[in-house]
């Protein structure tokens, strides 16, 4: 029994370090551009997402710094036909603009 206790402590420490390293790596990955994040996450098995604290890390990593009432940051997007682009600051004061962020796929 005495030989089992030090081995059990070592195993628990190794597992805790592996869990912390995987969580830190996932958090770092969440700060990368979407293309990088997606290209890595496609190889991560689903059981890993059930074990790691994915949702709290994601909510913290992608929280942003805007508060309610802050103006939206300026950006430009290509039109659907890709022949021109629309810039948010150009539309300011001309007409109402509704920004919808999400995925429809």
Q: How far apart are CA 45 and CA 49, in angstroms?
A: 7
Instruction: Please check whether residue 98 lies inside any domain of the structure.
Output: no
Instruction: Please check whether residue 66 lies inside any domain of the structure.
Output: yes
Residue 105 confidence (pLDDT): 64
Residue 56 confidence (pLDDT): 93
Instruction: Please check whether residue 104 lies inside any domain of the structure.
Output: no
What percent helix, strand, coil does the chain show, rounded to 5?
50, 5, 45
Instruction: Please check whether residue 53 lies inside any domain of the structure.
Output: yes
Instruction: Please check whether residue 19 lies inside any domain of the structure.
Output: yes
Mean pLDDT in order along the chain per 10 residues (105 residues): 82 96 95 91 90 92 85 88 91 84 71
Cβ proximity of 54 and 25 under 8 Å: no
Rg for the chain, CA atoms, rounded = 22
Instruction: Please check whether residue 82 lies inside any domain of the structure.
Output: yes
Instruction: Please check whether residue 97 lies inside any domain of the structure.
Output: no
Cβ proximity of 86 and 79 under 8 Å: yes
Q: How far apart are CA 18 and CA 64, in angstroms?
A: 28
Domain count, the chain: 1
* pTM (2 d.p.): 0.62
- Residue 73: domain span: 4-91
Instruction: Please check whether residue 105 lies inside any domain of the structure.
Output: no
């Amino acid at each position: 029994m005495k030989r089992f206790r030090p081995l059990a402590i070592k195993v628990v420490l190794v597992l805790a370090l592996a869990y912390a390293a995987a969580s830190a790596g996932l958090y770092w990955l969440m700060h990368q551009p979407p293309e990088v994040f997606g290209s890595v996450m496609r190889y991560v098995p689903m059981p890993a997402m059930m074990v790691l604290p994915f949702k709290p890390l994601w909510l913290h990593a992608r929280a942003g710094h805007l508060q309610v009432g802050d103006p939206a940051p300026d950006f430009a997007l290509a039109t659907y036909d890709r022949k021109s682009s629309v810039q948010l600051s150009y539309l300011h004061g001309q007409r109402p603009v509704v920004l919808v962020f999400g995925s429809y796929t």
